[in-house]
Structure 1
């Protein structure tokens, strides 16, 4: 491998890890070793459970083992790659790469052609496209790439097609070999357990007829996956079944049915009342609605606290948490009777500091709850002291995060998954919220509270595939046509720096630009360069940043926090997170991976956040990236004003009307359906349990 190739390899790794290669830019977890034994499906835990640490905990930099740098040098790979290789392959990285050079593919950002060059340098003529080690590494790499797109498994035909694109001879046989070696797992999901509308894809394997024992075989869908995601989905399905079947086991002082009904009767809206009644009778409830519908989980949380339940609500971002906390304060203030924990003597007033501390414990972020920075403590068994957990922004839950949450719930606790099904999906593999709803395993409460104003009207129409004109007398929605990407950048800078502050009254620091991707002539890199030049010119003396620069900090995949650069220090770059004021120092060797300028971001980064004004940029060279979910998400981030820099022409209404995000291949829906049917069968049986919790 030449010096140019080595530099290209390192650049590719940094590009993927920093987000410049794809929307899945912040993936920091490593691939699994390829020869893992097939695990057994975990049973529903009946006793103590070990709490998962959560997906946002990342180990520190791995020490470089002896001999690794020498192996990389022999293969022509850059020495700077050594820490990442050690993180992926562990202490035996050197010997493993000498024996199987294609294991370099387990390092995020390394592509097959680069691993092939590394293998040729080490093995010479002994390397080739048909090498079994190469095929097995490619199978794992293809499944990891699929996970970046949200899939937890793939059909055999999809894997074979992927292998053939990399010149693997006899790709079907290569897939079978990988299965036999234990690199991937095989799943046979019964098609007759799939809910309506969730039938097999064209590649599904439907079997029928008589088996060797005379019993009729059930039609199945064959899927292949990595044990990491398989265990997450199966653990999640078992945990949700435990939640569903544990309904009614609560022992909080106010949990009498008439107390729940009283709380529902005093709710501020019919939708909030419906949600409270659903939670009273079920362990698991799905709640759908837009931004205004967040008031309903807040009303539920306030009602639960007044009933004496230990309750907590978690949002995807710090901004979402703060909005929910404000709604909780409104809901608590609108009720006339304090709960058992808030009873005061006549004439005695609640201490605002105590109320603030309770709110901080009751309203948290998902990441903060999982890593213990926010919310209730865990007991000796690793479970939270909770009777009710409400997860807002539930479409952002990937399989691993959801599994970590559900594993940490004590027996008898209720779970509410709430969110807007129209927004972009989770950054990680899985579509938990959509699968839970599609399975029919729990009741769904659809909010009837619309988002207000012209922006709410526009976004509501987009959600059903209609891009209509709205009456915006206060310039709440403005469309700015542009001819090309250069004009799009120019008009965007003009809007942020001049037009929006002057005409709308929203200052520059409260206006957010959202575009379709990082690359391209009007992507985040180009827009941020232009906006920095106009708003915050400077030499970029701290790894390309200057004090006062607006940035986004992404310490892990799917976790993005707006921040401002404070200073550059010996240890790294000091940032202050917007809204919270929390200061963090990003190590110098992590700055390129975790920090980028934030005047312009992608819609995926913007999920869960809102700003007073948003400028959505739709350049003509990025029309292929447009779909209904992207438009719905980007346009819905503005509270008071939305400017649309429109260079996509007819591609915009076409995307809204007929282009939706590609479907994800997952197993949770089938697993939940099977669990629900098993519970129904047990309940219907004379010897079955009387515990309920299935769909209404």
Structure 2
């Protein structure tokens, strides 16, 4: 055991005794109140880590400052910013006085050393495969291990077998078996290397479920379930070496009431977060405040001249006043106006229009809600806009109006389909890209020399789908004073990644909010609106826009769904099968995507699956990253891979090494369908999905159909109960608390 680990164990002595009594060691079972007290003692101990002589602050900064590498991405860095820009961020623990006994932070795992030649890489793969085989791990993990640990993957795994937990799909029981295979009887449950791996693994698993932070009691309970003898020492060691960052937050509202305790004292909680997520939420909050604090609205010419500063009029006046002097100087030096323009290092941003111009644009807007949105954008840098599908015309109207006023205005959507459909809502050309295109620079306004996006107003639709890391990347790409409008439907599913950025921003009330009054029309819109307020009521559908069917079990649900896809909807409504999607709760189960896709393929495109399980003509979905799903059709296949044509008409060959991310695409999960709509949608509600159903899920699923929605319902009363009683699966985040603290001075 290292000196750091010994020191961490000594620091943990008091708390670990309490943790053992709560179930983490050999102590007897305690009551619920006693367990809560034990966790509270552990939380207090962790909060004081690093607090030494002289009242040194603990290593739990309210606003951890990223290093230079973690700041705003440069133009070259921007496309890859989300993946790893925060790995170097954070603050070091205070050193304390010379005589203090503060433990030094443990060394982080060194950056992996990459093989420089094909021969070196082949040798690394060979050595790693041998180590994995010696521990009984599958050889399929070899490429991932070398990608994670670099050229020294074999040595890393020999020295620390539990490091295998960072590889995809590996669970603690797998890592324990691998460690026993390499170490034999020496691989005990209390091994410090095991403890060191389990804490971040638990936090990563929580991140996969959408949490950007986890309450300390939940982490302790997770370690207990995994049989770690000293959960307290493991948690404190994780904090000391930076694998987890602790934060104390004051509870408000229902959370404070549920916590109970002394009513005269503020209720608090201690949460742990992975460094990258902690810094992302801090960076995100700082970015929002930066936009608001640096924004200066334009002024009318008369107002600008009277004030002598500020808006467009003042700037114009200053430029006019110096024009003659500049011209004379240029004449003396032989410099022409064209030369001056050519030599300019940075293009001049357009002058911000004044209130009169904005009001004229607002008055000319196509709806009262669009008018309200344009007026809000005239005066504020940050705005939230909420509404359903029909309300998307309002952000489109804002972008058009701002562009008409001379501003560099763009809209960004989650999917290519969203981009194309938004463009049709504007009364004329509209500058719109996907968020991925915007950040990668493959389309959109481009970047200024300082690396920020060259725009004055950005409207982001589908904002609920932004996780905290992607949102932070977006904010870091915006120049000071840029207007940002975040638009979305608050009833829809949140991001696939951790956090609930849009919901937290709405709850914190940190900026003006414009709620659309434009309803979604028709029977589908009426049904979805009812679900949004917790009611599942029948709607009149004279043209069969909405059809509700029941099924006894999963097998019957699959049969009915395939009948609707292949016969009933095309025959009765004229919507071809290729324009109808099947939606369900998950991939497995009697009525999951696997069962539905197998049945759909058998009916619509039977074949042997000669190209890795796929045949020409198959509908597939390509998922290059969590939360991203691109529907496509298989054109052909050969040794180079599968040749696909995507829904937007683009074509790509997916090499065999990436084919595992493809699935058949007649049936999707609702999470895969976010950001897209189809002329016809068949939503299958399996009987075994009752516990997973929420109002959010039902709302999102029912809204995927444009002209027709069929619901094959096999969940009994669970569907109605989910709509009425379970709005959404809760997520633990820190952003709302940070924004609430900053709201008073920011807005």
TM-score by length of 1: 0.82
The 5 A counterparts of 1:472-487 are 472-487=541-556
Q: What is aligned with 1:287?
A: 385
**1:100 positional shift:** 1.1
Helix, strand or coil for the counterpart of 2:711? strand
CA–CA separation in structure 2 for the residues paired with 1:373 and 1:527: 36
After superposition, the CA RMSD in angstroms is 2.5
CA–CA separation in structure 2 for the residues paired with 1:313 and 1:201: 41
Structure 1 residues 276 and 676: CA distance shift in structure 2, 3 A: same
- 8 Å contact 2:245–2:274 — kept in the other structure? yes
Selected match of 1:298 from 396, 400, 411:
396
The 5 A counterparts of 1:282-681 are 282-328=380-426, 330=427, 332=428, 355=429, 359=430, 362-578=431-647, 580-592=648-660, 594-679=661-746
The 5 A counterparts of 1:129-168 are 129-168=189-228
The 5 A counterparts of 1:37-436 are 41-42=64-65, 50=74, 52-54=78-80, 63=121, 65=124, 67-191=127-251, 199=256, 202=259, 220-248=268-296, 252-253=350-351, 255-328=353-426, 330=427, 332=428, 355=429, 359=430, 362-436=431-505
Helix, strand or coil for the counterpart of 2:270? strand
CA–CA separation in structure 2 for the residues paired with 1:113 and 1:474: 55
Structure 1 residues 206 and 588: CA distance shift in structure 2, 3 A: farther
Helix, strand or coil for the counterpart of 1:285? strand
Structure 1 residues 56 and 638: CA distance shift in structure 2, 3 A: farther
- 8 Å contact 2:679–2:706 — kept in the other structure? yes
* Farther off after superposition, 299-308 or 127-136: 127-136
1:225-276 CA-partner distances (Å, limit 9, x unpaired): 1111111111111111111112225663461111111111111111111111
Whose helix fraction is larger, Structure 1's or Structure 2's? 2
Structure 1 residues 224 and 208: CA distance shift in structure 2, 3 A: farther
**1:180 positional shift:** 2.0
- 8 Å contact 2:259–2:267 — kept in the other structure? no
- 8 Å contact 1:271–1:449 — kept in the other structure? yes
- 8 Å contact 1:147–1:429 — kept in the other structure? yes
Structure 1 residues 202 and 591: CA distance shift in structure 2, 3 A: farther
**1:553 positional shift:** 0.8
Structure 1 unaligned runs (5+)? 1-36, 210-217, 333-354, 680-693
- 8 Å contact 1:200–1:221 — kept in the other structure? no
Structure 2 unaligned runs (5+)? 1-58, 86-113, 116-120, 299-311, 313-349
**1:95 positional shift:** 1.7
Helix, strand or coil for the counterpart of 1:616? strand
- 8 Å contact 2:212–2:278 — kept in the other structure? yes
- 8 Å contact 1:574–1:586 — kept in the other structure? yes
**1:278 positional shift:** 0.9
CA–CA separation in structure 1 for the residues paired with 2:400 and 2:210: 34
1:108-139 CA-partner distances (Å, limit 9, x unpaired): 11011000000001111111111121122111
Helix, strand or coil for the counterpart of 1:601? strand
- Looking at CA atoms only, which structure, 1 or 2, has the larger radius of gyration? 2
* Farther off after superposition, 61-70 or 304-313: 61-70
- 8 Å contact 1:207–1:220 — kept in the other structure? no
**1:393 positional shift:** 0.4
Structure with higher RCO (Cα < 8 A, 6+ apart): 1
**1:206 positional shift:** 9.3
Structure 1 residues 595 and 43: CA distance shift in structure 2, 3 A: closer
Structure 1 residues 451 and 516: CA distance shift in structure 2, 3 A: same
- 8 Å contact 1:54–1:367 — kept in the other structure? no
TM-score by length of 2: 0.77
- 8 Å contact 2:145–2:164 — kept in the other structure? yes
- 8 Å contact 2:297–2:354 — kept in the other structure? no
Q: What is aligned with 1:8?
A: none
CA–CA separation in structure 1 for the residues paired with 2:263 and 2:644: 57
Structure 1 residues 570 and 292: CA distance shift in structure 2, 3 A: same
Structure 1 residues 421 and 199: CA distance shift in structure 2, 3 A: farther
Structure 1 residues 132 and 200: CA distance shift in structure 2, 3 A: farther
- 8 Å contact 1:54–1:401 — kept in the other structure? no
CA–CA separation in structure 2 for the residues paired with 1:129 and 1:208: 43
- 8 Å contact 1:102–1:115 — kept in the other structure? yes
CA–CA separation in structure 1 for the residues paired with 2:239 and 2:71: 33
